Amino acid sequence: MTSRNSTRRGVLATLPGLALAACRVDDSAVPGTGGPAAGPRFAALPEAEIVARLRRPSAPLAAFLRRAGADVGRAPDPVATIHVEGTLPGQGIYDRSIEATRDFPRILDFAVAWRATGEPRLLELADRFLRAWTDVYRVSLNPIDEERFDVLLLAADLVRGHVDPATDAGVDRLSRRFAEGYCAHLLAGGRRGSDVNNWSSHRAKLAALSAFALGDPALLARAREGFVAHLDRTIVGADGEVVDFGERDAIHYVVYSILPLLIACHAARAHGEDWLARRNRLGASVATAIDWLAPYAERRKTHQEFVHSRVGFDAVRARAGLANFAGPWDPARAINLFALAAALDPRWRGIADRLVAESGRPPSDWIRLLLA
């Protein structure tokens, strides 16, 4: 570990000019490995790509640096339990869960800013936040409650091998629990709604990220098998229609189901594998599902959301005034999805660019900087 003598003032004084800095971290410092059989250890960001992406000045990098500078005085806010699934703001521990999980993008801010600047205090903060969460959090294997952990796993890629070994070990424990638990569920063959819909898309995402991060060949084989098993259950039309559309009558949930699968595809690509084109028993793939969505993103088709949803909670959320649970679907809701898709296959680049131009909203900073 590095010295802990840096002050908050010193970090803030240094950050404004750092958007133009080259990556000052030693390029030869390679994160720890999972042993000769496992190969390099990372979820979605290999060391060489981290260095290349954070060497170039960019608007998203500048945004990461600003946020990291603003948050250097924060303390970690971990919780043992997260629960947001099936609840509304103000109910149960929903609000506490949302507040606590704001730590995850903060960890990513600190990790990116350290990679770009070499400022020791930023690495210390990433280490401290990661250690706090892996010490306190107890995995529930509820994929809706735990979907946000993808950001924590991406942050861990950036600092692996540079933080305290106990912190890396804690991330490994968390990843193993995710990989083993979610792979087991994906391979169990359940047929309930939550076994086949967006819930299992998030299971497949967390299983893939975690298995790749561990570099465990047996878990990787199970994650691949579980991914295809989920495609068999969730893509119900040869044209790419996903089960969520029939269940929820909403493009909102089509996006929510496909986007985590795309993150898994990015993790696979980083390890030399093509999961985007993997086909299910109908001959459909994640790419086919994106093509099904494309006419809605291009406004050649429109859709009134949730009119015939078979899930009663959708009507509850609409009555509570939550955004996007009634009315016409807004194609801008798919900006992140098509940015991720275009980074894997340029045939979707035109849609991605058009959505940004029409809405005036770029993809999320973490997607632009780290994956797209």
Of the listed ranges 38-47, 234-243, 308-317, 324-333, the one predicted with least confidence: 38-47
Kindly state whether residues 231 and 361 are assigned to the same domain: yes
More reliable by pLDDT, 182 or 189: 182
Is residue 174 a part of any domain in this protein?
no
Q: What is the pLDDT of residue 93?
A: 98
The per-residue pLDDT of the chain, averaged, comes to 90
Q: Structurally, how many domains does the chain consist of?
A: 2
b/e sequence 246-283, b meaning 16+ C-beta within 10 Å? ebbbbbbbbbbbbbbbbbbbbbbbbbeeebbebebeee
Average pLDDT of span 280-306: 98
CATH number reported for the structural domain that contains residue 278 in this entry: 1.50.10.100
Kindly state whether residues 133 and 274 are assigned to the same domain: no
pTM (2 d.p.): 0.90
pLDDT tens across 244-267, in order? 999 999 999 999 999 999 999 999
Is residue 19 a part of any domain in this protein?
no
Kindly state whether residues 214 and 146 are assigned to the same domain: no
Structure token digits, residue 343: 């980074």
pLDDT tens across 31-66, in order? 333 333 345 689 999 989 998 999 889 999 999 999
Q: What is the pLDDT of residue 40?
A: 67
Range of the domain at 107: 46-163
Q: What is the pLDDT of residue 13?
A: 36
Of the listed ranges 139-153, 287-301, 320-334, the one predicted with least confidence: 320-334
pLDDT tens across 75-86, in order? 999 999 999 999
Side-chain-side CA neighbours of 144 within 13 Å: the count stands at 14
20 pLDDT more than 80 = no
Domain end point (choices 163, 182, 200): 163
Kindly state whether residues 158 and 207 are assigned to the same domain: no
Kindly state whether residues 205 and 339 are assigned to the same domain: yes
Kindly state whether residues 271 and 135 are assigned to the same domain: no
Structure token digits, residue 339: 């940015």
Kindly state whether residues 145 and 200 are assigned to the same domain: no
